[in-house]
Amino acid sequence: MELVDYLPVMIQLLLAAVIAAAILIASHIFGQRARGNYASDSAYECGMLEESKPHPKFSVKFYVVAMLFILFDIEMVFMIPWVLIYRELLSVGILSVWPIFFFLGVLTLGLVYEMKKKGLEWER
């Protein structure tokens, strides 16, 4: 492959960089100005000085849902090749439908398990 063939990739990378930079610059220009100083940034503006850095708040809710989403999302990788070819396989009499239904069934069971164990409830 010639290096010229990679031009689209190059353009895409440039585009991504330009858009990211544009958003940052725009928010810097048009955003609200806040003159930061130590007092207004601290946890208690008037009061005791903090002894050490507080532990950052750690929200697990989003993380759990995102993780579960990724798992189901990735499983779809197995569906794409199957979708592309199942008609041809059927026309020559190869049973490729039941295995994939079984696979989907197991996935569905996993989803039911998640819901029963309250893995998808945002407010807990």
Partner 1 sequence: MNIELNDYLFVSGLLFIIGFFGVLFRRNTLVIYMSLELMLNAVNLALVAFSRYHNSMDGNLFVFFIIAVAAAEVAVGLAIIVALYRKRQTVMVEELAELRN
Partner 2 sequence: MNYNGFQELAATNQWSAIWPELSMAGIGLLVLCLDLFLPSSRKRLIPLVAIFGQLALLAVLVMGCGCATESTGPLFGGMIESGPYTPYMRAFFVLSSTLVCYLGVSYLSRQNLPRSEFYLLTIFVSGAMMLLVQSSNFVMLFVSLETVTIGFYVLVSYCRYSPFSLEAGLKYLILGALSSAILLFGIVLLYGAASNPALAQSTTDSMNFAALGKFIAATPEEPLVLVGAVLVLCGICFKIGAVPFQIWVPDVYQGAPTPVTAFLAVSSKAAGFLVLMNLVAGPFAALSKLTVPLLSAIAIITILFGNITALGQRNVKRVIGLSGIAHAGYLLVGVVAMAVGVALAPWAIIFYLFAYLFASFAVFGVMVHLAGVEDEIQEIDHYQKLAERQPFLAGVLAIGLGSLAGIPPLAGFIGKLLLFIAAFQAELYTLLGAAIIGVVISVYYYFGWMREAFFIKPALPGDEARPSYPMPGAVGIIHKLTLGLLVVITVLMGLFQRGIFGG
Closer by beta carbon to partner 1, 36 or else 54: 54
Stretch that binds partner 1, among 16-24, 41-49, 77-85, 115-123 (CB under 8 A): 77-85
**Angstrom distance (rounded) from CA 72 to CA 95:** 24
Among partner 2, partner 1, none, what does residue 89 contact (CB within 5–8 Å per kind)? partner 2
Q: Are 100 and 82 in contact (CB under 8 A)?
A: yes
- Number of residues forming the site for partner 2 (CB under 8 A): 11
Minimal CA–CA distance to 119: which of 62, 65, 58?
65
Print the binding letters for residues 32-71 with partner 1: x by CB under 8 A, - otherwise: -----------------------x--x-x--x---xx-xx
For position 74 contacting partner 2 by CB under 8 A, the verdict is no
Print the binding letters for residues 80-99 with partner 1: x by CB under 8 A, - otherwise: -x------------------
For position 8 contacting partner 1 by CB under 8 A, the verdict is no
Q: Are 97 and 90 in contact (CB under 8 A)?
A: yes
- Number of residues forming the site for partner 1 (CB under 8 A): 17
The full DSSP string for 31-52 is SPP----HHHHSSSSSSPPPSS
